[in-house]
Amino acid sequence: MDYKIVIDAGHGGDDPGASGNGIIEKDLNLKISNYMYDRFRELGVPVKIIRSTDETISPTERVNRVLDAFGNSDDVVVISNHINAGGAEFIYHYII
């Protein structure tokens, strides 16, 4: 099966996420996500990115952008990048 990738750079705009040691989560998520996007494109993998700039996206809009990218099928992989501050348990989110 050939997969399609949707990259979600977590947080953004008014939602900075975690911060510490001069690092703001939304900025690092965006850098990682843009790198991944560019790399997948270089490899010829179908890929879309939810946000490529620092913008506020509501939860509903985030889901809509994921679904608008390639639809909702078994060949779509969604990668949501987050950098936690530590001390939290792992939580897995699924978009169905």
| 7-55 pLDDT per residue, tens | 999 999 999 999 988 889 999 999 999 999 999 999 999 999 999 999 9
78 pLDDT more than 70? yes
Cα–Cα distance between 54 and 12 in angstroms, integer? 5
- What's the pLDDT at 85? 72
Reported confidence tier of residue 89, pLDDT bands at 50, 70, 90: low
pLDDT value, residue 21:
85
Q: Architecture of 4-81 per CATH?
A: 3-Layer(aba) Sandwich (3.40)
Cα gap 28→34, rounded to integer Å: 10
- Give the start-to-end residue ranges of the domains of the chain: 4-81
State the CB neighbour count (10 A cutoff) for residue 24.
16
